[in-house]
Amino acid sequence: MTQSSEREDPPNVKSYIIDMDGVIVSGNTLIPGARESINQLTVKGIRSLILTNNPIYTPADLQHRLRALGLNITTKRFFTSAMAISRIRHGVALDLRREHK
């Protein structure tokens, strides 16, 4: 993720889907520029969803992990592979227009 001051968002961007591991964090270290980029999305009112393919952790676990690194992100903004499988099994679609604001 590049630092927000280095580039402008493309026109008409309504939301971003961001991978957690390797984009926001690497192990227990925040990736340089991640905090500023996430904060800019929030300030601009651009929705974002943080994804992880790690099915072990809940959104609350992920929120705690990022809070310990100085990022305050609500649990609604996390989506895990376990959540995806659950939705597929139950036939529930993910609609970013209504969720994860």
CATH topology (fold) of 14-90: Rossmann fold (3.40.50)
Q: What is the pLDDT of residue 95?
A: 67
From 9, 21, 61, 95, active-site residue = 21
Catalytic residue status for 21: yes
Q: Is 95 a catalytic residue?
A: no
pLDDT tens digit sequence for 49-70: 999 999 999 999 999 999 999 9
Residue 81 and residue 16: Cα distance in Å, rounded?
A: 17
Which one of the listed residues 9, 19, 61, 95 is annotated catalytic? 19
pTM of the model: 0.77
Would you kindly state where each structural domain of the chain is located, as residue ranges?
A: 14-90
Backbone φ and ψ of 79, nearest 5°: -140, 120
Give the whole-angstrom CA distance, residue 85 versus residue 79. 11
User: pLDDT, tens digit, for every residue of 3-56?
Assistant: 444 556 667 778 899 999 999 999 999 999 999 999 999 898 888 999 999 999
